[in-house]
Amino acid sequence: MAKSNQDRKLKHLFDGGDWNVYQPNILNLGVGAPGTDLLSSNCDSFRKATDHCLEREKRDNQSLIFQYGPTSGTFEVRREISTYFTEMFESPVNCEDLMITTGATQGLHLLLSTMIDLQGFVFVDEYSYMIALDSIKHFNSLTIVPVKLNDDGVDLNDLEEQVSKRRFSSEKKEFWGMYYTIPTYHNPTGILFSPEVCRGIVQLARKFDFLVVCDDVYNILHYGEKPTHSRLMSYDDRKDADFAGHVISNGSFSKILGPGVRLGWLEVPARLKPILDGCGFANSGGCFNNYTSGIVESLFELKLAQKQIAVFYEAYKERMLATTQVLRDELPQCCKLVSPTGGYFIWVRIPDCLDSREFLKYCLEHQKIYFIAGPRFSVDGQSGKQFFRLSIAFYPKEKLVDGARRLCQTLKDYIVTQKIPQGVS
């Protein structure tokens, strides 16, 4: 088929390749997005919100939703976001600190292009969101530095060592360096950074004057007790004597309303906000997504967004608990997982002598089950062969449970072919 025809056929990100998620005999556990069953109720709620929004525009607002918007987005949509997330986070999200984006992907790109010296450094966790790494690599004058990751978050000693030997004084941008992370239900490892680690990161950021960018796209998806902190940013406390504002929270509706909505927000300390508000990239387009943000404002005003988010949350929770139960019961003893307490991802460790890329090939051949092998999440594309990542977001519980069982059995079979005694780790 000609390339142009192939492109015309595509309707979403996951139907192009051999591992099309909509083929009934394939289980693609790589997909970090809500599935069709969750998205299906959006048509009705977005139709109602669109009617509500456009009525308001016609009646009260001279149809200005179709105009370039205010650079940060309208006050009204930012107020809806701040009200909802203040309640969810149990910590204030200030309306004036918010800037509307088209999602966390764009948020990160905007920060890379405005905040950091392009001869500078980006510190990342040794395993990190693979497409964020691709985005950072695109700025090819930046140096990416991986930092060791422990079960409770980044290794503070390693972060300090890496940062201290690279610090320089930038004359061109506000920051010489950035630490990019996902501290709440990390992608790919699923971990939640502990309060001590969050506090330590903020102390280092203040001491060495680097920016911390947190992808906070999974924060409200907690499946056990509510964590003691909702986001790392709350540790950068304005009441502290040495507060300056070193943390930015990068939020998104992709995982809780739908990725196709393409709406997110940055929460930015007051001293840094003018840098974004004044940049050409933001100014030229007005608000990055004025029309959609007006619809989402109505979705919140009509309480439809809150309802939809609750439906997504319950489904994810059920999926995560059921899948991790199977893995805990049925994974070979030589493998390990830390059951995540929130988010989308389960990070499985296999014996060091195995290679998850080879196991993936075996799994595809024998069970048509796909997952993402660890090296995809490392800066060099090679480290992490002893890990793989599973996502619980896309399929209903029954499919996940069946898939997890088959995956465990296939792993046992694979280990036998590799002649590794099951006691080995």
Residue with CB nearest ligand PLP?
A: 103
Name the residue with tokens 């980044």. Answer: 154
How many other β-carbons are positioned within 10 Å of the β-carbon of residue 239?
Answer: 5
CB of 59 to ligand PLP, least distance (A): 32
Residue numbers at the binding site for ligand PLP (CB under 6 A)? 32, 103-105, 129, 132, 182, 187, 215, 217, 252, 254, 259, 264
Concatenated DSSP letters for 324-390?
A: HHHHHHHS-TT-EEPPPSBSSEEEEE--TTS-HHHHHHHHHHHH-EE-EEGGGGSTTS-S-TTEEEE
C-beta closer to ligand PLP: residue 110 or 326: 110
CB of 32 to ligand PLP, least distance (A): 4
Q: Is 408 left (phi over 0), alpha (psi -120 to 50) or beta?
A: alpha
C-beta closer to ligand PLP: residue 71 or 252: 252
C-beta closer to ligand PLP: residue 116 or 132: 132
C-beta closer to ligand PLP: residue 89 or 218: 218
User: What residues pair up with 247 in beta bridges, in sequence order?
Assistant: 212
User: What residues pair up with 154 in beta bridges, in sequence order?
Assistant: 149
Buried b (16+ CB within 10 A) or exposed e, 346-373: bbbbbbeebbbeebbeebbeebbbbbbb
CB of 219 to ligand PLP, least distance (A): 11
CB of 106 to ligand PLP, least distance (A): 6
CB of 255 to ligand PLP, least distance (A): 7
C-beta closer to ligand PLP: residue 61 or 135: 135
Beta-strand relationship, 369-370 and 27-28: parallel
CB of 12 to ligand PLP, least distance (A): 13
C-beta closer to ligand PLP: residue 210 or 345: 345
**CA of 293: how far to CAs of 1, 74, 83, 300, 310, in Å?**
38, 8, 15, 11, 20
